[in-house]
Amino acid sequence: MIKGSIVRETILNKIEIKTILKYILDNESDIKKLGEDDYPGTSEDSLTGRHKLYNLFNSPISHILKEKLLPFLEKNNVQQPAWIKCWANTFRKGEGISEHKHGDLDFICGNIFISGNESTGTNYYFNDKKLNIPNKPGEVYLFDSSVVHSVDKNIYDDIRVSIAFDVLNEDFIKIHKADSSLRPYYLNDKFTINNAPPNDDVVNNTFKWNRKEIRQ
Structure confidence at residue 54 as a pLDDT band (50, 70, 90): confident
Residue 48 in contact with residue 97, Cβ under 8 Å?
yes
Residue 68 in contact with residue 58, Cβ under 8 Å?
no
**Any idea where the domains of the chain sit in the sequence?**
7-213
Residue 172 in contact with residue 76, Cβ under 8 Å?
no
Q: What percent of the chain has pLDDT over 90?
A: 38
Predicted local distance difference test score (pLDDT) of residue 43: 60
Structure confidence at residue 193 as a pLDDT band (50, 70, 90): very low
Give the pLDDT mean for 66-94: 88
Has residue 113 got a pLDDT over 90?
yes
Q: Please tell me which residue, 45 or 198, carries the higher pLDDT value.
A: 45
Q: What is the DSSP secondary-structure string of 29-42?
A: HHHHTTS----TTS
* Mean pLDDT score of the chain: 79
Q: Please tell me which residue, 97 or 208, carries the higher pLDDT value.
A: 97
- For 126-171, what is each residue's pLDDT tens digit? 888 899 999 999 999 999 888 889 999 999 999 999 999 999 877 7
Predicted local distance difference test score (pLDDT) of residue 106: 77
Domain 7-213 falls in which CATH fold? Jelly Rolls (2.60.120)
Phi-psi region of 106 (alpha: psi -120 to 50; beta: other; left: phi over 0): beta
Q: Indicate the pTM of the whole model.
A: 0.81
- Most confident segment among 16-30, 78-92, 182-196: 16-30
